[in-house]
Structure 1
Amino acid sequence: MGMPSNPTEVPKGNFNGFKSHFKHDILSGFLVFLIALPLCLGISLASGYPAVAGIFTAIIGGLVATFISNSELTIKGPAAGLIVIALGCVQEFGFTGGVDPEKDFQAYRLALGVGVVAGIYQIILGLFRVGVLMKLFPSAAIHGLLASIGIIIISKQFPVLMGLSPQGAPLELLASIPSFIINMNPRVGLIGLLGVAIVLSYGYINNPRLKVIPAPMLMLLIIVPLGTFLGIGVEGTYTFNSQTFELGQKFLVNVPGNLLNAVTLPDFSGITTETGIKYTLLFAIIGTLESMLSAKAIDQIDPWKRKTNLDRDLLATGMANTLSAFIGGLPMISEIVRSKANIDNGAKTRFANFYHGMFLLLCVALIPGLINQIPLAALAALLVITGYRLASPHEFITIYREGRDQFVIFVSTILGVLATDLLKGLAIGIAVKIIIHFIRGGSVFSLNAKIIPERDQSITIFLRGSIIFSSWIPLQRQLQRFLDDGKRVTLDITETKLVDRRVMSKIEDWKKIFKDKGLELNVKAMYTSIDE
């Protein structure tokens, strides 16, 4: 992680910061660009959008959002977590997967219309400072949602990695993995499996000079020449083990030679349909949740402990999303992997995000022919690994260790998503959380508390019952009131049946807020009262 050279000097993303930290930010921006390029292409294609759509998104995220958000280290761009939503949107609008290019293009334009409206929703949420509501979604349900997205990504991209293109439900595709391996296109499958091996073995490389090149780009530097040698993009067939397999341009990325020719305007005729309304909500809600989670996570590892104004960041994301969809881009979020790499590469200010967008613009404008040599199987390899990380066994173990209740919510959300869709699955996870809350004697959006003023002008708040995500709004209101009054506060949770870990995390944040004001916020607790 990049550490501050002078801990007392906090870098700021203003004009002075632009000049002072130019070398650090442009270097980090370039290294993040090397990571972002293959991921943007892969996410676009997996979403049913043209390959260049993800590039548009990252360019707008870098060149526009940088100057609106105060988040100093996050990188804006397309995210694997939104693949399932984007693909579902174009499919329900008539996407055929290449069978009928005219229908595919129309589905893409209709999805862009949905993206514009979703971006406007995010702008409204940011302007009216209701981002706090997004922070109240149960953590276990959100992690379950992301894990289910990871499972779906693996199911959809593994066949592409093998040089195949079957259709089906996620569980059906997962069950067919042995069949995909048996029936794979050998040359394409070799490219895909080697891509997975290169990225997974990257952590074992000890040569610091070689590790300057990020894993995705190192993989492409090996895979692209190999793909050319194997003739992956040459139209024709070959025989292996007495079977005939196809090769050709359909196995390679395809971006236009002129970037302006790729600009596509949205079609708004679908925004009032059932499909349009559903995916507008999904893009706005899931995108906002993912973006906020990423921004908060990056704040926690910021070497200077700078804090992102989440409402302002949401406003920036919404404005950038609206503009991105207007020219043909995917939805964007504050992307966690690229943001973490940004810190590790020594970025100081938000201008690293700007430079990453600028390098992407120069790349796709000046060398589109080189991009068109990238095998789709290599991009699928990156996405399969991304999907695995979202739904890894470690994620299941981590949630289980947080408590049985959390694990039940987590698994319920995953099963709900796989059995229905993302929105219904998330609703199922929230419903399970509320049911558990009621079982433990809680209520929704109310606070079972007794407030006692002490003789020393301090306040004691006795909490009772179950305190979950929906209880946080009234509790936060009380804390804000006593903070404004200059009171010291003690939260007594010894009589609670359960306190959600997400609420406890927010209480810890408020301890720091009180401390910054020269006040105290203390918690009197028993270990058994914390979320089971």
Structure 2
Amino acid sequence: MKQDFFSNLKSDLPASIVVFFVALPLCLGIALASGAPLFSGLIAGIVGGIVVGSLSGSKIGVSGPAAGLAAIVLTAISNLGGYENFLVAVVLGGIIQILFGFLKAGIIGYYFPSSVIKGMLTGIGIIIILKQIPHFFGYDTSPVEDFAFFQIDGENTFSGIFKAFKNISLGSTIIGIIALSILLLWSNVLSNKGKFFQLVQGPLVAVVAGIVYFFITQSDSKFGIHISHLVSVPVPENIDSFLNQFSFPNFGAITNPDIWVVAFTIALVASLETLLCVEATDKLDPHKNVTPTNRELLAQGTGNIISGMIGGLPITQVIVRSSANIQSGGRSKISAIIHGFFLLISVILIPTLLNKIPLSVLAAILLIVGYKLAKPALFKKMYDLGWKQFIPFTVTVIGIVFIDLLWGIGLGLAVGVVVILIKSFQNSHFLHKEDISNGVQKMKMTLAEEVTFFNKGAILKELDALPENSYLELDVRKTRYLDNDIVEILEDFAVKAKERNIDIKIISERGVVENPPSYIDFFKLRPISA
């Protein structure tokens, strides 16, 4: 075990550095988008890394504050009468998540189609790219992780990009291009040149270059970077001011029913986001590890209880951080835990140095992350799989880009369900017409393994189309479940069959019966069920 730890550390340490630089601005951006204290986002990132990372069964998943909860948090803080009251809902939400874990609710994530999960990853990749373009050019009016189409600054995704092109900051753009060049050179060329370039990751070099550039050009009004285009970590003056940044829940408000509503909402949305992220992360994992979902809910619930108790935002597993971890070679949960310690140490010891990192450098890192999630080749691959995969995939992507994450997933899932219904409608039975003998046309209908009320229309249409004076052989030998709605259709058709002189023979595993007087009684005596 010890040998595995040090063996994985060679991969996990560089990956944790990348995740740290990705997580830092996102923690701050989500706090800002949520209308919460900036430090609350860092608390959630630290707890998500150290606590949830330690308890989780995921080897490469990384947890922290999530953009999908920002709108809920923003509204809740106002409606509940303050941040301390909101923290009570976070703690209660964590308790409810633990209850979900004990109730084995983690299985829910497995019921989302693969096309929707892939669409979620691609949509997030595209939205990361679109949202980071303004920051890359030094237009930082919106939070770094304001991922909704309609931003809190009044702009939308595309108007924000257009305004960025009209308000380009030369210094931010120059160092952004330099950082992006370093990242591409490092990953495509230098990483194959020796162990040094594998141990020291490109994002770290890009960040160092950004800090050096800031110091060199800070007195230059044309090529320098304004303070508004830098990371903004709260800087405590002493131990007391650092401790004063923590907030604590006001449990006196626990009797407020609105707090319980918010708590359940947080638990439900955070659990769903986590389970979807787990499913997506496991698909991205080159080693195909499988995360125990119920254990993940227990870990997330514990993390939310601790985060809420000390003033942090709600936590989920987050695909942006997790995918950065995978792309950087993370092998075990150690990378997530170390990134949490990096966040903790940095906000205590070097917040002033962190505040010298240009946001355009971090945007360059995220542009690479976004591209790896949304490679153009994936669209062709999904198209080649057929419309049943491509349409839910595309709808999910469009929903995420033009509305937000949860809407995109919901729309993709709805389309996926419709596709399933269409497939079920088409695959309920097989009708084969045989030659006419003695003036009677023989028809053979074979029912599928499972036939439900979704198949009523297709089967009824086929039965009504049978010609008069024909012979129907109904084969149910492969059928394991036959819905009562279908049995009633057969019962009703028996009356029509007599009027149209159609003879019916049922072939089942239990024998052959011709023109049974009652189909309901026949299947009741010889039940077909799952």
Bucket of the pairwise TM-score, normalised by the shorter protein = 0.5 to 0.7
Structure 2: which amino acid aligns with 1:169?
Answer: F
What does residue 68 of structure 1 align with?
55
Give CA-to-partner distance per residue, 1:92-140, whole Å, 9 cap, x none: 4689xxxxxxx9xx98767766654543443222211121122101222
What does residue 132 of structure 1 align with?
107
CA distance in 1, matches of 2:412, 2:339: 36
CA distance in 1, matches of 2:98, 2:231: 37
Structure 2: runs of 5 or more not aligned: 143-148, 430-446, 455-477, 480-530
CA distance in 2, matches of 1:112, 1:414: 33
What does residue 37 of structure 1 align with?
20
What does residue 201 of structure 2 align with?
214
What does residue 169 of structure 1 align with?
150
Determine whether 1:301 maps to 2:280. Answer: no
What does residue 184 of structure 1 align with?
168
Give CA-to-partner distance per residue, 1:295-347, whole Å, 9 cap, x none: 4654x606xxx6542211331133223323443245231753354367x46x5
Give CA-to-partner distance per residue, 1:459-502, whole Å, 9 cap, x none: xx973579x9xxxxxxxxxxxxxxxxxxxxxxx99xxxxxxxxx
The 8 Å contact of residues 291 and 333 in structure 1, kept in 2 or not, is answered as yes
CA distance in 2, matches of 1:423, 1:274: 19
Determine whether 1:358 maps to 2:341. Answer: yes
CA distance in 1, matches of 2:277, 2:257: 25
Q: What value does the CA root-mean-square deviation take over the aligned residues?
A: 4.1
1:148 to 123, 126, 140: 123
Determine whether 1:247 maps to 2:239. Answer: no
The 8 Å contact of residues 10 and 199 in structure 2, kept in 1 or not, is answered as no
Determine whether 1:333 maps to 2:317. Answer: yes
Give CA-to-partner distance per residue, 1:234-274, whole Å, 9 cap, x none: 7xx9358xxxx982356333233355343334578796598
CA distance in 1, matches of 2:39, 2:123: 26
| 221-230 or 50-59, which deviates more | 50-59
The 8 Å contact of residues 76 and 353 in structure 1, kept in 2 or not, is answered as yes
TM-superposed CA distance for 1:383, in Å, is 2.8
- 1:332–1:156: structure 2 CA closer, same or farther, 3 Å change rule? same
What does residue 482 of structure 2 align with?
none
1:228 to 199, 208, 215: 215
CA distance in 1, matches of 2:405, 2:85: 20
- 1:340–1:156: structure 2 CA closer, same or farther, 3 Å change rule? closer
CA distance in 2, matches of 1:356, 1:29: 10
What does residue 200 of structure 1 align with?
184
Taking only the aligned residue pairs, the percentage that are identical comes to: 25
The 8 Å contact of residues 20 and 339 in structure 2, kept in 1 or not, is answered as no
Determine whether 1:396 maps to 2:383. Answer: no
SS of the counterpart of 2:62?
strand
- 1:421–1:264: structure 2 CA closer, same or farther, 3 Å change rule? same
2:393 to 405, 410, 413: 410
Structure 2: which amino acid aligns with 1:367?
Answer: I
What does residue 277 of structure 2 align with?
290
Determine whether 1:159 maps to 2:159. Answer: no
CA distance in 1, matches of 2:130, 2:334: 37
What does residue 530 of structure 1 align with?
none
The 8 Å contact of residues 93 and 263 in structure 2, kept in 1 or not, is answered as no
CA distance in 2, matches of 1:430, 1:340: 26
Structure 2: which amino acid aligns with 1:425?
Answer: G
TM-superposed CA distance for 1:201, in Å, is 3.1
- 1:271–1:225: structure 2 CA closer, same or farther, 3 Å change rule? farther
| 259-268 or 178-187, which deviates more | 259-268
TM-superposed CA distance for 1:20, in Å, is 4.2
What does residue 317 of structure 1 align with?
300
- 1:153–1:278: structure 2 CA closer, same or farther, 3 Å change rule? farther
Provide the TM-score with structure 1 as the length reference: 0.65
- 1:398–1:375: structure 2 CA closer, same or farther, 3 Å change rule? same
Alignment of 1:71-86 (within 5 A): 71=58, 73-78=59-64, 82-83=66-67, 85-86=68-69
Structure 2: which amino acid aligns with 1:318?
Answer: G
- 1:107–1:417: structure 2 CA closer, same or farther, 3 Å change rule? farther
Structure 2: which amino acid aligns with 1:64?
Answer: V
Alignment of 1:44-63 (within 5 A): 44-49=27-32, 52-53=39-40, 55-63=42-50
Structure 2: which amino acid aligns with 1:225?
Answer: V
Figure out how many residues of one structure are paired with residues of the other and give that number.
Answer: 411
Alignment of 1:448-467 (within 5 A): 463=449
Query: Who wins on radius of gyration, i.e. which is larger?
Result: 2
Determine whether 1:381 maps to 2:381. Answer: no
CA distance in 2, matches of 1:394, 1:274: 43
CA distance in 1, matches of 2:51, 2:179: 33
Structure 1: which amino acid aligns with 2:323?
Answer: V
1:123 to 95, 98, 106: 98
CA distance in 2, matches of 1:431, 1:64: 35
CA distance in 2, matches of 1:108, 1:202: 43
Structure 2: which amino acid aligns with 1:187?
Answer: G
Structure 1: runs of 5 or more not aligned: 1-16, 96-102, 450-460, 469-491, 494-532
| 267-276 or 25-34, which deviates more | 267-276
- 1:266–1:27: structure 2 CA closer, same or farther, 3 Å change rule? farther
TM-superposed CA distance for 1:225, in Å, is 0.6
CA distance in 2, matches of 1:188, 1:110: 39
